[in-house]
């Protein structure tokens, strides 16, 4: 297990257990669990999740995330479509390439994606 301090807020923990196979990284603020060294884009994606988790007090983030996934899975009958349609993921994917996004991000920006299917 390797722990890297990427910035003052978030710490990267490289390991073979979290996240599940098939995923590169998972944020549980203030930690980013990763299977390998992260690119700037992937770290930015995870940093967006970190901001989302801070504004929803972490536990609410995961409750909303799971609830929204279940609802969108029922609607789409497709794991990938349901996952990419989660409002938190839509915001993170939309802005992951904008390295300056966190500094100009408006709080609760993810809300505008709740009723959108990707």
In this prediction, the residues of the chain whose per-residue pLDDT falls under 50 are 2-3, 5
Strands 2-5 and 25-28: unpaired
Does 118 reside within a domain? Answer: no
pLDDT in tens, 28-37: 999 999 999 9
Question: How many independent structural domains does the chain possess?
Answer: 1
Query: 74: domain range?
Result: 2-113
Residue 6 domain flag: yes
Question: Is residue 102 in some structural domain?
Answer: yes
- The predicted pLDDT at position 7 comes to 59
Dump pLDDT digits (tens) for 49-70.
Answer: 999 999 999 999 999 999 999 9
pLDDT value at residue 9 = 84
In this prediction the pTM is 0.92
> Rounded to an integer, what distance in angstroms lies between the CA atom of residue 30 and that of residue 26?
11
3-state secondary structure of 98: coil
């Amino acid at each position: 297990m390797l722990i890297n301090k990427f910035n003052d807020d978030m710490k990267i923990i490289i390991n073979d257990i979290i996240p599940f196979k098939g995923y590169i990284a998972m944020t549980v603020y203030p930690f980013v669990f990763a299977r390998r060294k992260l690119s700037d884009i992937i770290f930015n994606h995870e940093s967006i999740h970190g901001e989302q988790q801070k504004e929803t007090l972490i536990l609410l983030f995961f409750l909303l995330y799971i609830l929204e996934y279940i609802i969108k899975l029922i609607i789409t009958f497709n794991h990938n479509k349901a996952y990419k349609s989660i409002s938190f993921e839509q915001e993170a994917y939309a802005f992951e390439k904008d390295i300056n996004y966190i500094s100009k991000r408006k709080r609760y920006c993810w809300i505008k994606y709740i009723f959108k299917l990707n």
